[in-house]
Every structure is written in structure tokens, then in C-alpha cells.
Amino acid sequence: MKINVHKSALVVIDVQNDFCTGGALEVKNGEDVVPGINAVLGKKLFKKVIFTADWHPVHHVSFASTHHRKPLEIIETKTGLQTLWPDHCVENSKGAAFHPYLAVERGDLFLRKGRDPKLDSYSVFFENDKKTPTGLKGYLVEHEITDIFLCGLAFDWCVFFSALDAVSLGFRTFVVEDLCRAVNFPEGFQDEKREEMVKTGIQILQKDDLT
């Protein structure tokens, strides 16, 4: 598809060390998205490029260790159900840093999410209470962005929730599937979330579709 450079933004979601091979919350082959993302960035197809990052304080609400529980358990919190994860992307840690080969020098905005110790954040638009904005919508509106292209980690979590919020906020929303990797736990979760995105009006693309 032909991209309107003056109206489009690429949002690169959470390509951080802790989500890559050997990281605390490893997404299988997560680092494989880096060369493709860099190649797309080199084409200069977008008015704005945004890099997002999980940036959690120690003892964050999403950490299983905070509650003395096991990862992947689900608990009830004041903001709803919370899936518990291994400690990951702790602020100022090596795990929270972007993958070292990611072309972050091409970024126009860097957005850190999940900074509230009592509130998790999957979407790049809202914290998980569905009310607290990250500020990204205002930035995109200010720069007259109407079309959003999402990629990164993970397809069935942060990319998924970000895409749903983007559509609900009125943006034309595209997910570049081969520039994402998925957790896919349990088996089939990835396909389930893909189907849900398509039903919501999100367009699923591949990197070679971007011109």
C-alpha cells in the first residue's frame, strides 16, 4: 500500500532486551524483528517515528515477586485482573534498554509506559485502568497524524492492545505482522488476537506492503 508520508506514524513497541532472547520475559526470536524494522525506517515512509518502552519501578504491580506468587498467575487488583510476570524492564536496567542494534536514532518520540508502581500498561495509549492516557494521542493529533502503523513486541499483548485503542480513538490502524513476534501462550493465543484485530477493522500488513 502507498503510505501518506505526511499523515502517518510508525510506532515501534517495546523492542527491549528483556523481551529478546535471554531476557527476563523472553519473546521467542524477539530480536528477529530488528533488521526489518531498521530497513523500514531507512525508507523514511513516515512523518513521525515513535519508540515505546516498558519502564517499571522495582516491586511493580505486574511482577510476580511483588506478590510472592508465580509468573502467569492472575490476581485481582484495584484496577482489575492482573497477569503476573517475571520482573522485567526495571527502570534504568540493561533489560529495559532498547535492543542494541535497533535504529533508535531515527526516533522522534520516546514513550515510557508502566511507570506507576500500582498500574500496569500494555497499550501505548492508555494505562491498564483504561482511563490514564500516556499522552501519545495528543502528540499524534498535534502533528496531524491519521494513520498509525504498529510493530514490535509482543504481537498478542502490547501490539494488540495498542491497536485496539488506536482504532477506538479514530486512527486508521495497521499492524505490520512480520515485524512483530508473539508470546502465543497458550497455543493459539496469537491467532485468536489476530482474528480479533481483523474483526475490529485493523488492517494486517507485511513489511513488503509498505511503499
Residues with catalytic roles = 14, 113, 158
Q: What stretch of H or E contains 35?
A: helix 33-42
Structure-block grid coordinates of residue 210: 509498505
> 10 - beta bridge partners?
49, 149
Q: With contact defined as beta carbons under 8 Å apart, do 43 and 83 qualify?
A: no
Angle of helix 189-199 relative to helix 158-168, nearest 10 degrees?
10
Query: CA-CA distance, 178 to 37, in Å (whole number)?
Result: 10
